Amino acid sequence: MENLKKTILIVDDTETNIDILLELLGEKYDVIVALDGVSALEIVEENEVDLILLDIMMPQIDGYEVCNRLKSKESSSNIPVIFITARDDENSIEKAYEAGALDYITKPFKALELLARVNTQLKVKELIDHLDFISSYDEMTAIYNRRKFFELSEKKFAHSKSNLYAVMIDIDKFKNINDSYGHPMGDMVIKLITKTISKHLSDDAIFGRLGGEEFCIVCNYCSFGGVANNIEEIRKAVEDLEIISDEGRRIRFTISEGVAKVSNDTKNLDELLKNADIALYEAKGLGRNRVIFR
């Protein structure tokens, strides 16, 4: 990741301005150019853009409007915007910050200063992205952590309750793996299992680590057949996994899964998860490595 060049989008309707910025930024960054606001918004939709240098005075939609539209969309609201314009009156500057800009550079600008300011915003963005990641994902498995899992699942429960399922998953006799092979092997098993499960899930499934060896999926399925197939497929895929230890021992492991569906009576997410948990305990009680529906 670190060797990848950052991408900067330059939005300006004057080609000579673009040429100057290209000359300045082209070597260190990947640069995309837009000559008007509409194409700038289209480019942002289709590309990973790390920072935008935005002119104010442009035909059709001006820079303020472009910035407003970027900030009102979740997918683009985090892209840092630096205005770069000939306007230097306080009103224009204030309006730019109100629209969501992080910085404001007036033309003519000093080359080194512009570079430094671009670099600063990119660094801040990187830090924010990193904080975002560690506050949302489990460090070991890179699936959602408990906090993010509940945040997203609550939203899903509130907005798309029909055909919503919770699947509680627990690694069978996980303590034995840790005791027999040590914790590093236990970690390896957890990583391999979560990676395998992730591969079998649709993009809108919420998959999180709730604790040590306990995981949960919250997902909408079209039919009971759909969820049954998917969850059984996951159980089978884990059963087929194998790790060879340093001593050459074959390590196999299984999971138990408890599945619950939202009904008209399900009051909240907690109740749905509790039902899945009850099913999970039943699966454990019946000998593990199985799926129980409730």
Cross-strand pairs, 141: none
SS3 state of residue 201: coil
Residue with smaller CB distance to Mg ion, 59 or 212? 59
Nearest approach, Cβ of residue 30 and Mg ion (Å): 23
Instruction: Name which position in 15, 39, 42, 57 contacts Mg ion (CB under 5 A).
Output: 57
Catalytic residue among 46, 65, 139, 213: 213
Structure tokens at 122: 């990119």
**Interaction between residue 62 and Mg ion (CB under 5 A):** no
Q: Does 277 bind Mg ion (CB under 5 A)?
A: no
Is 36 a residue that touches Mg ion (CB under 5 A)?
Answer: no
**Calpha distance 234→236 (Å, rounded):** 5
Q: Are 256 and 288 in contact (CB under 8 A)?
A: yes
Asked if 168 and 280 touch (Cβ cutoff 8 Å), the reply is yes
Contact pick of 37, 54, 55, 221 for Mg ion (by CB under 5 A) = 55
Per CB under 5 A, 13 contacts Mg ion: yes
The answer to whether the peptide bond before residue 80 is cis (omega within 30 degrees of 0) is no
**Residues within window 99-158 making contact with Mg ion, judged by CB under 5 A:** none
To 10 degrees, the CA torsion angle through 128, 131, 135, 139? 140
Positions in 174-233 near Mg ion (CB under 5 A) = none
Which two structure tokens, joined as six digits, stand for 162?
Answer: 């029909």
- For residue 184, give both structure tokens: 């590093």
213 counts as catalytic: yes
Nearer to Mg ion, 13 or 154 (CB): 13
The residues assigned a catalytic role are 213
Q: Residues in the site for Mg ion, rule: CB under 5 A?
A: 13, 55, 57-58
